[in-house]
Amino acid sequence: MATHPAPDRSTGPGRSGDPDRTTTSTVTLRVNGVPRRLTLDNRTTVLDALREHLDLTGAKKGCDHGQCGACTVLVDGRRTNSCLLPAVAHDGAEITTVEGLAELVGPAEGGALHPLQQAFVDRDGFQCGYCTPGQLCSAVGAISEAAAGHPSYVTSLTAGPPGPPVPLSPDEIRERMSGNLCRCGAYPNIVGAIEDVTR
């Protein structure tokens, strides 16, 4: 029987003979304004990159399946569930976590809070606080989306999207924040806090 030499699989894309080159990538994430260069397993999510590689533990892991919103951060200005994002697909992305929220409105010296953070404190918009970083990042995103005229499920579409800025009524806030669960049931005060900063 004829025999054939085994194919040489030691070269070619991702096959330098170094097994790490097939399973890791080096990326730079701009986190809260600071470029952070990381070599990561290709399966690492943005959430795990933040928590396990950068010690930024504000974003929380609730479900790890895109269902609870505890991991919400802003990526290039848009809110997103970081547990669903492969970090290696976000090379160069601008990521804002709860630790950097205050800097969005100016240099945060002396422990200054973002207005939403202050409103959550004033309104007692949390109990255990586990969901709060995600609620805050999501609220920042929701306010931006409404200001840009993006409709939600409860927005009247008579003008047709994208329209003028959408006023954030309690119904609008509840709908736009519906992806962020709070097992403590702090919803009424969360809605009140967001209302406070949008009046």
* 128 vs 154, beta carbon nearer ligand FES: 128
The two tokens of residue 28 are 């730079």
- Is residue 40 helix, strand or coil? strand
Q: How far is the CB of 166 from ligand FES (least distance, A)?
A: 24
Q: How far is the CB of 170 from ligand FES (least distance, A)?
A: 18
Q: How far is the CB of 50 from ligand FES (least distance, A)?
A: 12
Separation CA 113–CA 116 (nearest Å): 8
- Binding footprint of ligand FES on the chain (CB under 6 A): 61-64, 66-71, 81, 83, 126-132, 182-184, 186
Q: How far is the CB of 47 from ligand FES (least distance, A)?
A: 6
* 100 vs 133, beta carbon nearer ligand FES: 133
- The helices-and-strands tally (H runs, E runs) of the chain is 6, 5
Query: Which of these, 38, 43, 9, 37, lies nearest to 23 by C-alpha position?
Result: 43
Separation CA 11–CA 85 (nearest Å): 30
Between the alpha carbon of residue 80 and those of residues 89, 126, 158, 163, the distances in Å are 14, 21, 28, 23
* 64 vs 196, beta carbon nearer ligand FES: 64
Q: How far is the CB of 101 from ligand FES (least distance, A)?
A: 17
Separation CA 31–CA 49 (nearest Å): 11
* 24 vs 118, beta carbon nearer ligand FES: 118
* 155 vs 180, beta carbon nearer ligand FES: 180
